[in-house]
Amino acid sequence: MTAAAVSADDETKEGVMAVDLAPELLEILACPNCHSSLAVDHEADELVCTNTACGLAYPVRDQIPVLLVDEARRPSEG
C-alpha cells in the first residue's frame, strides 16, 4: 500500500482528517491546564477539555495530540 493510499484511507468522506486515537490513550490523557479529561472533536481535529471553566481545544496533527497550553485554542477563538 502506498503512502497516498494510506492517507486516502484515513480521510473521511468530507476530505477532512478524522482524529483516530486509541481509546486506551484517550482514557489516560488529561488537559495539561486543569487536568480534566479530554473529548474528541472530529470536525475540528482537536481534543477539547471537558471542564467548562477551562475548555481549551488542543490540535491533533498527523494523529499526534499537541498537548501544549501555548498551542491550544481558547473556547472563544474561532
Distances from the Cα of 54 to the Cαs of 49, 50, 51, in angstroms? 7, 8, 5
Report the CATH number at residue 63. Answer: 2.20.25.10
- The number of domains in the chain is 1
Contact 58, 66 (CB under 8 A): yes
All cell numbers assigned to 66: 499537541
Residue 56 has pLDDT above 50, yes or no: yes
Mean pLDDT of the chain: 82
Note the pLDDT of residue 9. Answer: 42
pLDDT in tens, 11-27: 444 444 578 889 999 99
**8-39 b/e with 16+ CB inside 10 Å = b?**
eeeeeeeeebebeeeeeeeeeeebeeeebebe
Q: Residue 35: inside a domain, yes or no?
A: yes
The answer to the question of residue 19 being in a domain is: yes
